[in-house]
């Protein structure tokens, strides 16, 4: 997953992806195909306070509806995935979901700012 690497995200083990694809008998924009499932991953990120490595667990439920154009209406709780032709790129969709689940400013829960020390201030 090169886009994850470019964003500074390293998966510590392969992501667990379980999906269910539901294709209506008569596929149309009125009844788009649906993909639902769960993505679980453990990523190594760089803490933006101490610049050290940190683990971040990603767990995401997905519900995508596969549509021909972005103007097609989807269910309120669904995320539209616009198909290029008749192809659905599952790996790209999973990569997008992982990137969205990474915090924009990752940091350890109890991490001091660089150059500071913990403890009481004598001033």
pLDDT of residue 1: 78
Averages of pLDDT over runs of 10 residues in the chain (123 residues) are 88 90 68 90 90 91 89 88 85 92 86 54 42
On whether the CB atoms of residues 60 and 28 are closer than 8 A, the answer is: no
pLDDT of residue 22: 84
In our burial notation (b when 16+ CB lie closer than 10 A, e otherwise), range 100-123 reads: ebbeeebbeeeeeeeeeeeeeeee
pLDDT of residue 86: 77
Does the predicted model carry a pTM greater than 0.85? no
């Amino acid at each position: 997953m090169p886009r994850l690497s470019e964003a500074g995200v390293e998966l510590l083990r392969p992501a667990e992806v379980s999906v269910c694809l539901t294709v209506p008998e008569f596929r149309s924009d009125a009844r788009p195909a649906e993909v639902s499932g769960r993505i679980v991953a453990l990523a190594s990120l760089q803490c933006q306070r101490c610049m050290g490595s940190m683990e971040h667990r990603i767990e995401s439920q997905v519900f995508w509806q596969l549509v021909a154009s972005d103007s097609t209406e989807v269910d309120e709780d669904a995320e539209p995935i616009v198909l290029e032709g008749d192809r659905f790129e599952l790996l790209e969709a999973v990569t997008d979901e992982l990137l969205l689940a990474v915090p924009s400013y990752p940091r350890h829960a109890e991490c001091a700012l660089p150059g500071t020390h913990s403890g009481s201030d004598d001033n």
